[in-house]
Amino acid sequence: MTRRDLDSNAGASPGTGAGADADAGEGARRVATVLFERYSDDFDLRHGGGIERALYQLSTALAARGVRVHWYRRQDCPDAQALARRAAALSADAVFPLPDSPLFWRQAPSTDAGLRARVVRIWHDVGALTHGRGVVLPCDRHRAGGDPAAPCSAAHAHPALYAADVCFRDEPWTRCFPRRQVIPWAVDHLPRLDHRDRDGPVLLLAGKARLEIVTAAVDACRARGVPVRVIFSGWTTLGRQAKAHFDDPVARAGCDVVRDYRLDEDHARVFGGISAAFVLSQYHETFNFLAAECVHFGLPVVGLRGAGATDGFASLLVDDAAALRAVIAQDRFRALAPKPMAPWGWDDVAAAYLDLIGRATREDGAPCDAGPRAHPVSTP
C-alpha cells in the first residue's frame, strides 16, 4: 500500500470509490459507507506499523464486501465539526478515528450527536490508559466485585459516548467500556507457509523491551553458537535505541540485522529458516502482529510474561533476562511447538465490523446500547 492507494478515494463523493458498483441489483438496500482516519505522513507496507497495516487490511476486506471506503487525515478534518460535515456529506455509517486522535481522546466530546453515534474506536494501543505501557488493571468500579460508586479510571476516555469501542479480547480493563466489542485482527493477508527450521537461527525483536534484555539474548546466543536475525519495532524510543546499538559492528557480530522489509514480499527473508522467535515486549499488547505472524509461519514464540496478547501466542514465557539466557543455553527453544493459529481471516473481521456497524447505530443515528459481544473466533 502506498499513499496514492490511500488517497485514491480519500476525496471521493458518495457513489464513487470502493464498492460504488454494489448498488446495481441491490434494490432499495443502501451500500454501507465508512470513513477511516490515517496518519498524515507517507505510508507504505515497507515502513508502516501495525495499526496502519491492520486498518489497510480491514479497509480492503470491507471494500471486497461492497463497502464504500473513504479516508481522511487530521489536517483534512481539524475539528469535530469539520469531521461531522465530512461524515454527513458521505452519509457515512461509521467513522474510525486513529487510536491517538485528539478529537476523541482527553477532549470534551463533540456535541454533534450524529457523529458520536457513528464513531467506532479501536483500542489497538492502550498505553494511554496507564502510567506506563505495561499491565492495564481494571478500575475500582468495573473490577469483579467493584464499587459502583467508585470513579472509573477510563472515564477520561469517554467510554460511554460513542457507538462502540473495539477490543481484541475480553480483558478486565475492557469492562470499563460498556459498548465494547471483541474483534481480533487476522493474518491471512500472508501466504500460509511453514518457514521453520529447528536447526536454524533465532528471530529476535528489538525495540519493545529494555536493551539489556535484548543484549542478554544476543550474548547467550553467541555463547551457544546460535545465529541471530534481528528486526526492530521502529516507533518506540527503545526501538531507536536498539537500532543505534546494532549500528556498532561489535554489537551486531553474529547477527543478521534486517532494517527494512515489506512483509508480503519479504516474509521468507524475515521468517525463512528460523527455529524460534523471541518476541520480547514489555508493553501490554492488544494484538501483537509479529507474534501472530510467527505462529502463522509455523514458528514457536518465546515471550516475556505479562505482555498482554503476546502471551497468548507464545509457546514459552519467561520472567526476566536470566530465564531467557537459561532457555537459550539449554536449547529449549528448539523443542517448542508453535501455538495453533485460529481459523479467523480478514473476511471474518470485515463481517464482524459490518455486524457491529449495523447494531451500533439506528436509522435515526442514535446509538444502540447493545452491550459487549465477543465474536466466536478469537486470538488465544
Q: Judge contact between 60 and 1, C-beta under 8 A.
A: no
pLDDT of residue 297: 96
pLDDT of residue 131: 61
Distance CA 334, CA 375 (A): 34
Give the C-alpha distances (Å, rounded to integers) separating 300 from 91, 264, 335: 46, 20, 9
Rg, the chain, Cα only:
22
pLDDT of residue 3: 38
Q: Judge contact between 41 and 75, C-beta under 8 A.
A: no
pLDDT of residue 52: 83
pLDDT of residue 42: 61
pLDDT of residue 2: 43
pLDDT of residue 188: 92
Distance CA 165, CA 28 (A): 30
Low-confidence ranges of the chain (pLDDT < 50): 1-29, 363-372, 374, 376-380
**What are the strands, taking DSSP E only, across the chain?**
33-37, 68-72, 94-96, 120-122, 164-167, 180-182, 202-206, 228-232, 255-257, 276-279, 301-304, 316-318, 373-374
Quote the DSSP letter at residue 30.
P
Q: To the nearest whole number, what is the mean pLDDT of the chain?
A: 83
Distance CA 43, CA 235 (A): 13
* pTM, full prediction: 0.84
pLDDT of residue 22: 37
Measured at the CA of 378, the angle between CA 372 and CA 380, to 5 degrees, comes to 120
pLDDT of residue 112: 82
pLDDT of residue 106: 66
